Amino acid sequence: MNTKNISIAIVLALVFCMSIFAIKDQIKGFLRENLPFHTKAYVNNLLKNQEINFISNEIAYRSMQDFFNVPDFPELKKFENSYYFSSARLELETFKTNFLLKQKNEKATGGAYLAQFKENIIIAQENGLFFNLSSNELDSKSSKIGVDHIDSNIFSIIKYFEFYGPGQYGIKGMYADSSHLYVSVSFKQNKDCFNTSILRAPFKENFLEFSVFFVPNQCVNIFNEYGEYNASDSGGRITNFDESRILFSSGSFRFRDLAQDSESHLGKILAIHKDSANAEIISMGNRNVMGLVYSKNTNQIWSTEHGPNGGDEINSNVLDIGPHPKNFGWPISSYGEHYAASNYNPEGALIVDTDHATYAKAPLHKSHKEYGFVEPVLYFTPSIGISAIEIIDERFSKEKRFDMVFASMGTHKNAALEKSIFLFDSKEKKYQKIFQGERIRDILFLQKKSILMFTGETTGIIGIISLK
């Protein structure tokens, strides 16, 4: 063995030791002081790669530790918080959880989605953990309610660790019909290329055997020719449409032009056949649909949508009125501004640089109708972080004019409307706040009981609102 090979063998042995013992800084110093000049670049590169792998493995370990760290006895525990505001005409019950603990970002703990399967309420945390709650337990008025963890095979399908750890990837929506549970996920279709896809599993209380049900016809590469990427612009809401189809919202991951591309599934609301998984574009020009519901009575799709910096929207698609598909204008029209070109001054006024290069790609005109697009029913500037929307029945509110509810995750620029739930009169386009105090990720109206459940991700709670 020549001298060079002996040197490399020693280096590899030391690097191996470094990965086991916490002495990497001392080893680095020793190698740099004692190795010949011509081997230092090689060693530095080796050390750099080893450190990158160490960090990646540490992230993976922590993510999977959270994924497998499930309490032996998951439960809801009733509590009261004087900080919460609720309407005097409605009864509010709030429950701490010992299982919604994952922090996806600094503002959100225990972000979760809700779905109803017969008498079961399924709770899905963003990092892929599933729980089951009997809806009959909600009538018990007990201070504690037991919840069952449901094992699944999601780890065998989603194989990148960012999904399970902090960041923008994770579960994005959930819906259950009479036989299956549908879950939308940040899906890594190819290397560095993502979209929001749907997994489906026959619902069983002891195990969810997911398979890939629907994958859009395109994914967005992190390093794309458009020059921008953001995995939070993902859509992911799923709801019922008719006996044979579901509705699904897909995001364009900040590749804005795809929302106006009639050949792309991204930046759209799609109708997907349950048998074939074939998709039809129902609307386009959608930025990031966060709430989605279909009214059979009016043959109308209601959706809520995140704007950029401002311009959150409530949209209506009346299917009996053409043209089809409807176009909601993104990124040509919006009542918001680009994040990169706008900011609030100390007095709270939004300062916009209209000469910023982003406006050449996406002009954000302050009219939809003038450019041939559908105007929003309502828009919010500043943004309220609008989230889910649901249809309610007349038993839920004494004021019969309210036929819907919607929620928000909050913004410091509009404190009166942040972290709230609102009754909504869709005819008069008026709303009334009934709860405030948590970032609301999801809401679910239980029609048989005429109660509203919600997930609060400021502290990872479950809430129930009912008529007094």
Q: Are residues 80 and 17 in the same domain?
A: no
Q: Are residues 234 and 344 in the same domain?
A: yes
Mean pLDDT of 278-305: 98
Report the percent of the chain where pLDDT is more than 70. 84
Find out whether 414 and 383 touch, Cβ atoms under 8 Å: yes
Side-chain-side CA neighbours of 190 within 13 Å: the count stands at: 9
Find out whether 76 and 462 touch, Cβ atoms under 8 Å: yes
Please return the burial class of 149, using the count of CB atoms within 10 Å of its CB with bins 0-12, 13-18 and 19+.
middle
- CATH code of the domain in which 208 resides: 2.120.10.30
Q: Are residues 384 and 339 in the same domain?
A: yes
Q: Give the domain extent around 187.
A: 74-467
Q: Are residues 160 and 39 in the same domain?
A: no
Q: pLDDT by residue (tens digit) across 245-260?
A: 999 999 999 999 999 9
Identify whether 68 is part of a domain: no
Q: Are residues 222 and 283 in the same domain?
A: yes
pLDDT attached to residue 442: 98
Identify whether 256 is part of a domain: yes
Domain count, the chain: 2
Q: Are residues 333 and 381 in the same domain?
A: yes
Helix, coil or strand: residue 110:
coil
pLDDT attached to residue 64: 67
Lowest mean pLDDT across 28-32, 128-132, 176-180: 28-32
Mean pLDDT of 432-454: 96
* Torsion angle of C-alpha atoms 378, 261, 174, 164, degrees rounded to 10: -110
Q: Are residues 28 and 97 in the same domain?
A: no
Q: Are residues 323 and 454 in the same domain?
A: yes
Is residue 465 predicted with pLDDT exceeding 80?
Answer: yes
Mean pLDDT of 380-403: 90
Mean pLDDT estimate for the chain: 89
Identify whether 272 is part of a domain: yes
Identify whether 69 is part of a domain: no
Q: Are residues 36 and 155 in the same domain?
A: no
Identify whether 67 is part of a domain: no
Q: Are residues 109 and 224 in the same domain?
A: yes
pLDDT attached to residue 141: 79
